[in-house]
Structure 1
Amino acid sequence: MRTRWRAAGVLAALALVLTAPLPAAARQEPATPTKPAAPVTVPALTDWTPTPGHYRHTRTTRLVADSPEERRVAGTLADDLRAAGHGTVPVVRGGARTGDIVIDIRPDRTSLGTEGYELRSGARLSVTAATETGAFYGTRTVLQLLGRP
């Protein structure tokens, strides 16, 4: 009798595991002859427009942030970059130079919503958002795209 109950318990546990909802996987937009595939991130990018150019993170990279909100987001990113093996990245004010990452919170960018952001890559990387939350989420994508050195 105990063997039957044990078998029933194992079957019930398997049924729960196999029928439980799974987290959504990142969906990658397929590449076309005129548009390369979007980078895979979690959550997946909702809009992807490739442009010419590239960004290179180096040991001279700085995080450029002026307002207190931008500096909070940049400070968190600096800590996370260090933890991910990208070295110590200073948070500075003022103009950006080649290789820098710019955190820019612009409340007038209402089209981005409260959690959205715009990420532009070129000689420098810029994360623009209407809110501090949006800028923070943008830095999560930056971390994923930079990966481990």
Structure 2
Amino acid sequence: MHGGGPTRGRWRTAGVLAALALVLTAPLPAAARQEPATPVTVPAPTDWTPGPGHYRHTRATRRVADGPEERRVAGPLADDLRAAGHGTVPAVRGGARTGDIVIDVRPDRASLNTEGYELRSGARLSVTAATETGAFCGTRTVLQLLGRP
């Protein structure tokens, strides 16, 4: 999923988020299945690729943040998840498991630009960005997609 963005340029997000929209839907026969709609977020995605699998936020969800930049992004995310009714989500380093939210700042992903991020959904939810700012922007999208429980 890629997001359109502020006047400084486009937010870039890519990934597989179809499962977030499908968590509450009942299984359908193969003939009745259709491609999921692009998620509604602000900014709107500029690139969206649906895929198999799903992410489920549970009481066991943790924020995985290894480095100092990731931990600075993970702090506000915890407060915002709590305020949105998703409970206390502890921060850990390394060893992501099913249901975790992983924050990863990777300067080698320069193609994502300053505010861009990649968001992938599956057994875990991963926000990858080239900068701390991009990772923070990605967590704003995560909050929108998770909504209220």
- Could you say which TM-score interval applies, normalised by the shorter chain? 0.7 to 0.9
Q: Indicate the residue corresponding to 1:16 in structure 2.
A: 22
Structure 1 or 2, whichever has the larger Rg, is 1
Question: What is the deviation of 1:15?
Answer: 41
Give distance in 2, aligned partners of 1:7 and 1:104: 13
List, as ranges, runs of 4+ consecutive aligned residues in structure 1 with deviation greater than 4 Å: 2-33
Q: Is the 8 A contact 2:15 2:121 kept in 1?
A: no
Unaligned runs of 5+ in 1: 34-39
Question: What is the deviation of 1:3?
Answer: 49
| Distance change >3 Å, CA 4–CA 24, structure 1 → 2 | same
Give distance in 1, aligned partners of 2:51 and 2:13: 58
Question: What is the deviation of 1:70?
Answer: 0.1
Unaligned runs of 5+ in 2: 1-7
Higher helix proportion (structure 1 or 2): 1
Higher strand proportion (structure 1 or 2): 2
Q: Indicate the residue corresponding to 1:119 in structure 2.
A: 119
Q: Considering only aligned residues, what root-mean-square deviation do their CA atoms show, in Å?
A: 16.1
| Distance change >3 Å, CA 22–CA 128, structure 1 → 2 | same
| Distance change >3 Å, CA 60–CA 21, structure 1 → 2 | closer
Q: Is the 8 A contact 1:28 1:44 kept in 2?
A: no
Give distance in 2, aligned partners of 1:8 and 1:47: 6
Q: Relative contact order (C-alpha < 8 Å, sep 6+): which is higher?
A: 2
Question: What is the deviation of 1:51?
Answer: 1.2
Question: What is the deviation of 1:8?
Answer: 51
Give distance in 1, aligned partners of 2:37 and 2:125: 23
User: Which stretch of the first structure deviates more once superposed, 96-105 or 17-26?
Assistant: 17-26
TM-score by length of structure 2 reads 0.74
| Distance change >3 Å, CA 136–CA 12, structure 1 → 2 | closer
Question: What is the deviation of 1:46?
Answer: 1.1
Aligned-residue identity in percent: 91
Q: How many residues align?
A: 142
Give the secondary-structure state (helix, strand or coil) at the position aligned to 2:94: coil
| Distance change >3 Å, CA 15–CA 42, structure 1 → 2 | closer
